[in-house]
Amino acid sequence: MMLPMPFRTIIEPFRIHSVEPLRMTTQVERERAVRAAGYNLFGLRSEDVLIDLLTDSGTGAMSRDQWAAIQHGDESYAGSPSWFRFLDSVQELFPFKHIIPTHQGRAAEKILFTAVAGPGKAVPNNTHFDTTRANVEFTGAEAVDLVVAGGDDLSASHSFGGNMDIERLDAFLRAHPGSVPVVFVTVTNNSHGGQPVSLANLRDVREVCDRHGVPLFLDACRFAENAWFIHEREPGQQSREVRDIVREMASLADGMTMSAKKDGLANIGGWLAMNDDEIATQCRNLLILTEGFPTYGGLAGRDLEAIAQGLHEVVEHDYLQYRIRSTGYLGDALVRLGVPIVQPTGGHAVYIDARRLLPHISPLEYPGQALAIALYETGGIRSCELGTVMFGRHPDGSEQPADMDLVRLAIPRRTYTQSHMDYVVEVCGEVATQAADLPGYRIVEEPPMLRHFTARFEPISSAEEGPPITPT
């Protein structure tokens, strides 16, 4: 439990024990590096990045106690004590009957949707994350986003802007009887500004699912951050422990997918959990095909130990207060500079509204990509486009502007200090002053799905003059 402090400054509830050097680069070096990477920041060598805000997934710092737990890793193929420690930690927060370990979140998604989705089926979610959508669509099913009305309004302040739209969910389930194998709620809503979902909304989703006889699953990657927002913002929740709020969230669901690379505070790992015996048996059989035996599922015993310890740490109030406040610190500073962001700031990231910052670049010339490249070239900051590059290509091959063109500055857990964030703010301010001069981009090469990972781009204004880009 957090002790009240008489001072305003919220400090990191840890001190640094081991450090990693950062490599300084010049703007010319970065321009060369990003050009060689086909203007795709996923293609950079991470040593050429100064502040890496590409993702908060698996990029955080583990604690002393997690590293110590790793020494207890037991690598027995079946029934290792590390598995049982992992199982106990997971079930303490998420008391589902079946816990199926996977190497990361998307493996859990792939297994679940292979078992329950398929052609003619549809999976509603508040907002699908990219891998979730891809795994649903890969089975031939439709992935439907039903985020609450008003959640799209970037300038509005919503306490729970990640909520599911209950009326649209009800109408959707009424219109598609028998074709929805599962309803998903993503907490926090990563593809929608990292906004949280309230307990009241989860209760309403549960009630609608019960009425239609459809199971409810959580995409729970950032469950602790979501629970902290509930603790802070939802009426009547302030005196509750976060771990109790998490248990209530779990009690409203029939299962979950999880990437332990987020709120497992680990560098790898995940799980699939559920109460249904029959589907769990199917999923375990699929797990054995691709991930491994059900007591390790694609993870080493030491990974299971790191996650087990991480789950104890992630629900600590001191940690969550620091975590959410440090994200808010970056968001508040950008707002003061006049940089348009999704408000209020989400839990794990700040999302810059690139469409608003770069109104001269049309969505099909990828304003988010343009901004992300400028942040890298100017200050060595690697961010991630969440917009038309990520969501614009549809399964029928057509391309349309995404609902929003955002650039996500995702903050790895326990990794960067306040002065790193002050530097990020300074670079964003500099890029904002040059916004009108930034070029749009076109795609010169893309895969059939999840194109943002490997597509290659060229700037539109200089494409005709410059030499063609040679793939590396």
Residues near ligand PLP (CB under 6 A): 57, 104-106, 129, 131-132, 186, 190, 219, 221, 259, 261, 270
The closest alpha carbon to 212, from 179, 174, 163, 181, belongs to 174
Whether the upstream peptide bond of residue 415 has omega within 30° of 0, thus cis, is no
Nearer Cβ to ligand PLP, position 231 or 408? 408
The closest alpha carbon to 149, from 158, 140, 141, 137, belongs to 158
Nearer Cβ to ligand PLP, position 133 or 231? 133
The closest alpha carbon to 10, from 332, 336, 262, belongs to 332
CB of 109 to ligand PLP, least distance (A): 7
CB of 410 to ligand PLP, least distance (A): 9
Nearer Cβ to ligand PLP, position 56 or 234? 56
Pick left, alpha or beta for residue 58 (phi over 0 → left; psi -120 to 50 → alpha; otherwise beta).
left
Nearer Cβ to ligand PLP, position 151 or 379? 151
Beta-carbon contacts of 10 under 8 Å, excluding residues fewer than 6 positions away, are: 321, 322, 325, 326
Nearer Cβ to ligand PLP, position 69 or 185? 185
| Beta strands per DSSP E along 32-146 | 51-52, 98-102, 122-125, 142-145
Number of H helices, E strands in the chain: 17, 14
Could you tell me the two tokens for 416? Answer: 């960067």
How far is it, in rounded angstroms, from Cα 13 to Cα 10?
Answer: 9
Say if strands 406-410 and 384-386 run parallel, antiparallel, or are unpaired.
Answer: antiparallel
Nearer Cβ to ligand PLP, position 270 or 380? 270
Nearer Cβ to ligand PLP, position 346 or 439? 346
Beta-carbon contacts of 443 under 8 Å, excluding residues fewer than 6 positions away, are: 366, 389, 451, 455, 456, 457
CB of 348 to ligand PLP, least distance (A): 8
The distance of Cα 394 from the centroid of its chain, to the nearest Å, equals 21
CB of 263 to ligand PLP, least distance (A): 10
Could you tell me the two tokens for 174? Answer: 């009424």
Could you tell me the two tokens for 380? Answer: 């060595």
CB of 378 to ligand PLP, least distance (A): 26
The three state secondary structure string of 284-326 is HHHHHHHCCCCCCCCCCHHHHHHHHHHHHHHCCHHHHHHHHHH
CB of 113 to ligand PLP, least distance (A): 12
CB of 435 to ligand PLP, least distance (A): 28
Residue nearest ligand PLP by beta-carbon distance: 105
| Beta strands per DSSP E along 33-173 | 51-52, 98-102, 122-125, 142-145
The C-alpha angle 371, 373, 378, rounded to 5 degrees, equals: 95
> Are the C-beta atoms of 30 and 376 separated by less than 8 Å?
yes
CB of 235 to ligand PLP, least distance (A): 26
How far is it, in rounded angstroms, from Cα 319 to Cα 334?
Answer: 23
How far is it, in rounded angstroms, from Cα 454 to Cα 384?
Answer: 13
Nearer Cβ to ligand PLP, position 58 or 401? 58
CB of 336 to ligand PLP, least distance (A): 28
Nearer Cβ to ligand PLP, position 136 or 374? 136
> Are the C-beta atoms of 160 and 233 separated by less than 8 Å?
yes
Any idea what DSSP says for residue 344? S
Nearer Cβ to ligand PLP, position 30 or 451? 451
CB of 224 to ligand PLP, least distance (A): 13
CB of 186 to ligand PLP, least distance (A): 5
Nearer Cβ to ligand PLP, position 115 or 260? 260
Amino acid identity, position 291: E
Nearer Cβ to ligand PLP, position 196 or 439? 196
CB of 260 to ligand PLP, least distance (A): 8
Residue 183's beta-bridge partner residues?
A: 216
